[in-house]
Amino acid sequence: MQKRCALLSGAALGVLFAGAFGATAQAAPRHHHATAAAAVDTVTQEKIESLTSAVSTLESRLNDETAARQADEARAQAAEAKADAAEADTQATRSELQAQIQTIPTDVQTAVAAVKPKSSWTDGTKVSATVFTDVSNINQTPTPNKINGTGADIKRAYLIIDHQFSPIYSAELAIDFAPNGIILNGGTFGSGTLMGSEAIKYAYVQAKYADEFIIQGGAEKTPWIPFVEDLYGYRYIDKVMIDQNKFGNSSDWGVNAHGDLGKGLFDYSVSVVDGAGYKNPTRSQQMDVEARANFNWNGFVLAGGGYWGKLGNDIQTAPPTAPPAPQTATRYDVLLAYTNSQIRAGVEYFNATDWKVVPKLTPDQAQGWSVFGSYNVTPQWAVFGRYDGLDPSMKLARMERYNYYNIGVSYEPVKTVDIALVYKHEDIAHAPTGGYSDGTTVLAPTSNGVLRTSGGFNEVGIYTQFKF
């Protein structure tokens, strides 16, 4: 910048001198007087001084601007240095915070471990309960009948304890405090009572080696009835057809293996059991076998199952009272169902041979159909219905016929509570022995020596299920 100022000054002086010499050269040939030359010199000198002053002023301004620019550059450099220093401090603070955050889980675990009590049997244990209740009016024919009238009933009251020993081994205990129902209408009780009616529904140890292979030992779910209950969805209203009509048990003592193959596409369950049901553990000469396999696809379920055995009747008895060898009971099951978040629909068929005449030598056969369905009008409200039709004794009593149906509206205020307004009907016709016993009552009982071959049962009431 100083060199530029010097060049400018030199150029200005050069112009001045050139002008001065030019004026002198032009004046010489005209032979002016000395006074004129002096005057010219004076004017020239004044111009030189004026230009010199202007150049000096310009140079001073340029120097001031240069100093100001240098000061601005110095301040900018200082600000940039401060910014770099601030960024470095921020990076250091961020790194420190990240290091502290990474240590938080370890610090929390250390703190929890310091205050956590010693492990006990309650770790991994869950306690829950399920209760079925109803308030209804019953009208059974023929009359009079002691169960007719209005009252409250506790059909089931399960206390369930689950314990997880490890990722593989677990156990479940479920006690049913009302296995036969408790009728609470002014002190008139059903076959169950408030005390002394407990039964172990489930009591098993489980080993889950994989989703494809789970084994249970003890009193566990049988392959067919609980499977149908899950598809039906209204167990708290009544048992499903096979359980209702005593052609099978929902739980039995023995060993069960089940699993899921193909990520939900195919399921199986196989049990080796005593055969007399969970209420009657029995030691017999051989155990029974029950099995199920089902195929699942886009909400559709196709299942088949079977049962083979002597139902716990093959027991040793000392002669001469030893009965003949009991017959072998068989049952074959087929089910087709469809379920989604709004619809449940299914049809079930079974055929049983020698089921209720195992201790005898007389052969018999039974068959039955069940159709069920429900539709969720809203996520909380649904309508449902079911129909069962049975030929209970196709060889010994060809005319005997059993019918059952229910229809109702259910409401689910919360996920663990169900309330339903239900109408139910059952009837038996042409029962040669004077009565038919199912899961609800004895239809057409013999009374005062009078043989009754037909009877009906009607009930309307509010049924509830709650869990916690």
Query: Per residue in 300-352, pLDDT tens?
Result: 999 999 999 999 888 877 666 656 778 899 999 999 999 999 999 999 999 99
Q: What is the DSSP letter of 195?
A: S
Geometric angle at alpha carbon 256, from 252 and 259, rounded to 5° = 135
Q: Tell me if 143 is assigned to some domain.
A: yes
Is the same domain home to 134 and 19? Answer: no
Q: Domain containing 404: what range?
A: 127-467
Last residue of a domain, one of 71, 91, 111: 91
Q: Tell me if 406 is assigned to some domain.
A: yes
Q: Tell me if 104 is assigned to some domain.
A: no
Measured CA to CA, the distance from residue 274 to residue 253 in angstroms comes to 6
Q: Tell me if 121 is assigned to some domain.
A: no
Q: Is pLDDT larger for residue 465 or for residue 454?
A: 465
Backbone angles phi and psi of 59, in degrees to 5: -65, -40
Is the same domain home to 347 and 408? Answer: yes
Is the same domain home to 77 and 134? Answer: no
Is the same domain home to 227 and 315? Answer: yes
Measured CA to CA, the distance from residue 366 to residue 380 in angstroms comes to 38
User: Percentage of residues in the chain with pLDDT exceeding 70?
Assistant: 81
Q: What is the DSSP letter of 188?
A: B
Helices (H) and strands (E) in the chain, counts: 5, 19
Q: Is 415 helix (H, G, I), strand (E, B) or coil?
A: coil
As for how many domains the chain has, the answer is 2
Token duo for residue 328: 């072998």
Last residue of a domain, one of 63, 91, 119: 91
Measured CA to CA, the distance from residue 91 to residue 221 in angstroms comes to 62
Is the same domain home to 273 and 336? Answer: yes
Closest CA to 148 of 185, 173, 179, 182: 185
**Given a cut of 80, is residue 442 above it in pLDDT?**
no
Q: Is 104 helix (H, G, I), strand (E, B) or coil?
A: helix
Measured CA to CA, the distance from residue 446 to residue 428 in angstroms comes to 13
pLDDT at 76: 81
Query: What is the amino acid identity at position 373?
Result: G
- pLDDT tens digits, one per residue of 75-94: 888 878 887 887 877 787 78
Q: Is pLDDT larger for residue 250 or for residue 36?
A: 250
- pLDDT tens digits, one per residue of 164-193: 999 999 999 999 987 777 666 544 444 444
Q: Provide mean pLDDT across the span 259-285.
A: 92
Is the same domain home to 134 and 85? Answer: no
Is the same domain home to 319 and 204? Answer: yes
Q: What is the CA radius of gyration of the chain?
A: 50
Is the same domain home to 394 and 341? Answer: yes
Q: Tell me if 231 is assigned to some domain.
A: yes
Q: Tell me if 111 is assigned to some domain.
A: no
Task: Decide if 445 contacts 147 (C-beta within 8 A).
Answer: no
Convert 340-351 to b/e letters by CB count within 10 Å (16 or more is b): eeeebbbebebb
Task: Decide if 459 contacts 420 (C-beta within 8 A).
Answer: no
Last residue of a domain, one of 91, 112, 144: 91
**Given a cut of 50, is residue 265 above it in pLDDT?**
yes
CATH number of residue 257's parent domain = 2.40.160.10
Is the same domain home to 45 and 134? Answer: no
Geometric angle at alpha carbon 94, from 88 and 96, rounded to 5° = 105
Is the same domain home to 243 and 369? Answer: yes
Q: Tell me if 112 is assigned to some domain.
A: no
Task: Decide if 267 contacts 230 (C-beta within 8 A).
Answer: no
Q: What is the DSSP letter of 83?
A: H
Backbone angles phi and psi of 102, in degrees to 5: -65, -25
Measured CA to CA, the distance from residue 382 to residue 299 in angstroms comes to 19
**Prior bond to 319 cis, omega within 30?**
no
Q: Which stretches of 193-301 are DSSP H helices?
A: 225-232, 241-244
Is the same domain home to 341 and 418? Answer: yes
- pLDDT tens digits, one per residue of 203-259: 999 999 999 999 999 999 999 999 999 999 999 999 999 999 999 999 999 999 999
Convert 267-297 to b/e letters by CB count within 10 Å (16 or more is b): bbbbbbbbbbbbeeebebeebbbbbbbbebe
pLDDT at 331: 98
Is the same domain home to 279 and 396? Answer: yes
pLDDT at 389: 96
Half-sphere exposure of 89 (CA within 13 A, CB side): 6
- DSSP characters over 339-365: E-SSEEEEEEEEEEESSTTTTSS---E
Q: Tell me if 98 is assigned to some domain.
A: no
pLDDT at 353: 96
